[in-house]
Structure formats: C-alpha cells, structure tokens
C-alpha cells in the first residue's frame, strides 16, 4: 500500500538555519494495516505524514502509494491522487460557517459530485459516525469528540483507500479518545481502509496499531509489530 524509500528532508528556517527533519527514513505499510508512528515533539512525525500525501516534498527518496510514485508526479496528478487519501487533524479543521452536513459535503462538492449523490453519501457518513441528528448544527455546538467524528466523515467522503491521522486524539479526554480509536478500528475493519497515524501518546499506538515505528531526531529507531515493540500484552 505504502512504500517510503530513503526519504530525507532539510528545512531552512527564516533565520537561515538548517534543520534535518528527516534523515534516510524507510518503511512500508501493508494494505489494511493500522500503522502507528510515535515520537516526541520535533522528531519528524508530521513531516513523514505530510510526505505521504506530498503536502511536503522530500529532498531525496521516493514515496509510493497504491503503486504510484508520488514523488514523480506533477501537481495536477497529485491533486487527483490526494482524493484517495483522507486526513484528520488534532484540531479537527472544520469550517465554522458551514453546518455539519455542509462540512462533510465539501470534498464531494469540490469533486463535482451531483447534488443528490452528495446528500445520500453525507447522510450515510453521518450515520456511520453516529451524528445523524447533528446534520443541521454548526461545529461550535459540538463536543471535541463529535467534531472529530465529523472530520472523520469528511475525510471518508470521497472513499479514500488510506486515512492519515495527525495527532487525532491529542486534544481529547481519555474516554473520548477511546471512542474515536474504536471508530477508527471499525472503519479499518469494515471499509478496509489502511490507516497511518502519528501520535506522541503511547497508549494510542498500544491500543490500535498493528505495527509501530518509533521516530527520533528524524530517524526510525525501532520498527515492528506491537508485541515486538511493547512486549506481549
């Protein structure tokens, strides 16, 4: 599903300082896996995730997703490819001026889906995430966990084969975190969507990830299945 081959990335700060964010990172993710990338702040997790949908281009190396080398694609091809990659964020990134229905509909409107099809799909997605009664509410009327459910519905709208999660539970309390992780597991199992998540919270990777990479100073320092990394349960 994903093959990351020897990617490196150096940022130059506006003061001219060079920061090696990624240094020769390689890993692969199988179709249907939940793959976790864990590390402390500044380790390079977000940079890896942004390289998976080419919001960031590595200086060196290759990123393959579903048989395509994203690192060789034009911006137009990438835009098309990104439709098969959903993403959710720590702070949900919902549009405050749009209802829940309209937030979930947005990616479908952008891909010129006919109106009737949009309505069916959005209502189906809201049902999947358990928010059918909230369709006409605005995001600020929702709890953090409900907002993340909306964001998940929006990320799934275009039927992606891959879902990228950027600290998706870091702003949530433990009980809400648990319910969001359960939803991600359901989505992974029922819709066969591959999930890559980044987090600094060890209990998140321990509870749902099939395999885990530990990132430190821009390098993968450990990689294995849950039992190899954390010992048997």
Residue 210 CB, shortest distance to ligand ADP, in Å, is 21
The kind and range of the H/E element at 70 are none
List, in sequence order, every residue forming a beta bridge with 19; answer none if it has no partner.
Answer: 11
Q: Which of 96, 64, 207, 92 is nearest to 155 (CA)?
A: 92
CB closer to ligand ADP out of 66 and 171: 171
**Per rule CB under 6 A, is residue 53 in the interface with ligand ADP?**
no
Q: What mask of x and - would describe binding to ligand ADP in positions 10 to 49, judged by CB under 6 A?
A: -x-x-----x-x-----------------x-xxxxxxx--
**Per rule CB under 6 A, is residue 58 in the interface with ligand ADP?**
no
Contacts 24+ apart (CB under 8 A), 135-142: 135/99, 135/100, 135/101, 136/99, 136/100, 136/101, 137/99, 137/100, 138/96, 138/97, 138/98, 138/99, 138/100, 139/92, 139/94, 139/95, 139/96, 139/98, 139/100, 139/103, 140/96, 142/100
**Per rule CB under 6 A, is residue 117 in the interface with ligand ADP?**
no
- Closest residue to ligand ADP using C-beta atoms: 101
Pairing of strands 68-69, 60-65: antiparallel
Q: What mask of x and - would describe binding to ligand ADP in positions 138 to 177, judged by CB under 6 A?
A: ----------------------------------------
Residue 53 CB, shortest distance to ligand ADP, in Å, is 14
Distance between CA atoms of residues 160 and 192, nearest Å: 10
Residue 71 CB, shortest distance to ligand ADP, in Å, is 18
CB closer to ligand ADP out of 44 and 107: 44
Enumerate binding residues for ligand ADP (CB under 6 A). Answer: 11, 13, 19, 21, 39, 41-47, 99, 101-102, 119, 123, 135-136
């Amino acid at each position: 599903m994903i093959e990351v081959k020897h990617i490196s990335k150096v940022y130059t700060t506006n003061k001219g300082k060079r920061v090696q964010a990624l240094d020769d990172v390689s890993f692969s993710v199988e179709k249907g896996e939940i793959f976790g990338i864990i590390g402390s702040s500044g380790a390079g997790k977000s940079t890896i995730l942004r390289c998976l949908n080419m919001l960031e281009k590595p200086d060196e190396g290759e990123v393959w997703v579903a048989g395509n080398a994203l690192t060789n694609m034009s911006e137009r091809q990438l835009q098309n490819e990104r439709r098969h990659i959903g993403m959710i964020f720590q702070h949900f990134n919902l549009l405050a001026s749009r209802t829940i229905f309209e937030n979930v509909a947005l990616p479908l409107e952008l891909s010129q889906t006919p109106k009737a099809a949009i309505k069916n799909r959005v209502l189906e997605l809201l049902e999947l995430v358990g928010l059918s009664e909230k369709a006409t509410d605005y995001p600020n009327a929702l709890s953090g966990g409900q907002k993340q459910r909306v964001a998940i519905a929006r990320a799934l709208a275009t039927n992606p084969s891959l879902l990228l999660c950027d600290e998706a539970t870091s702003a949530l309390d433990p009980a809400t975190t648990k319910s969001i992780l359960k939803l991600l597991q359901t989505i992974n199992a029922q819709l066969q969507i591959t999930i890559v998540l980044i987090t600094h919270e060890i209990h998140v990777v321990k509870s749902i990830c099939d395999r885990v990479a530990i990132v430190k100073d821009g390098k993968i320092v450990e990689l294995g299945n849950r039992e190899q990394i954390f010992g048997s349960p």
